[in-house]
Amino acid sequence: MKMTVRSDLCRGHGRCYDLAEDFLEDDDEGFVTVRGQTVDVPADHVEDVRNAAASCPEGAITIIEA
């Protein structure tokens, strides 16, 4: 599985990195650091990333099944 975070939609609420804290991190401005990137999600973080994507109020996180 892969995920991407759209920079134009992310508003820095922080729900994603709170729910997937062992995989996602925030930058100095409170935004998730993987904005504008597509990243591989390790198998042991899939459930957390799915929960993070579901919690994003802007729908900025897209899950890509591979």
- For residues 24 and 34, is the Cβ–Cβ distance under 8 A? yes
The identity of residue 5, as a single letter, is V
Mean predicted confidence (pLDDT) in 19-38 = 94
- For residues 62 and 16, is the Cβ–Cβ distance under 8 A? no
> Cα(62)–Cα(18) distance, rounded to whole angstroms?
17
Residue 53's pLDDT band (boundaries 50, 70, 90)?
A: very high
Q: What is the pLDDT of residue 26?
A: 93
Q: What is the pLDDT of residue 66?
A: 73
Residue 13's pLDDT band (boundaries 50, 70, 90)?
A: very high
Q: How many domains does the chain have?
A: 1
Mean predicted confidence (pLDDT) in 41-56 = 97
Mean predicted confidence (pLDDT) in 17-39 = 94
Q: Find all residues with CB under 8 Å of 61, minimum gap 6, and list them.
A: 3, 4, 5, 6, 16, 49, 52, 53
CATH number at residue 43: 3.30.70.20
- For residues 20 and 55, is the Cβ–Cβ distance under 8 A? no
Which residue range is the domain that position 24 belongs to?
A: 2-64
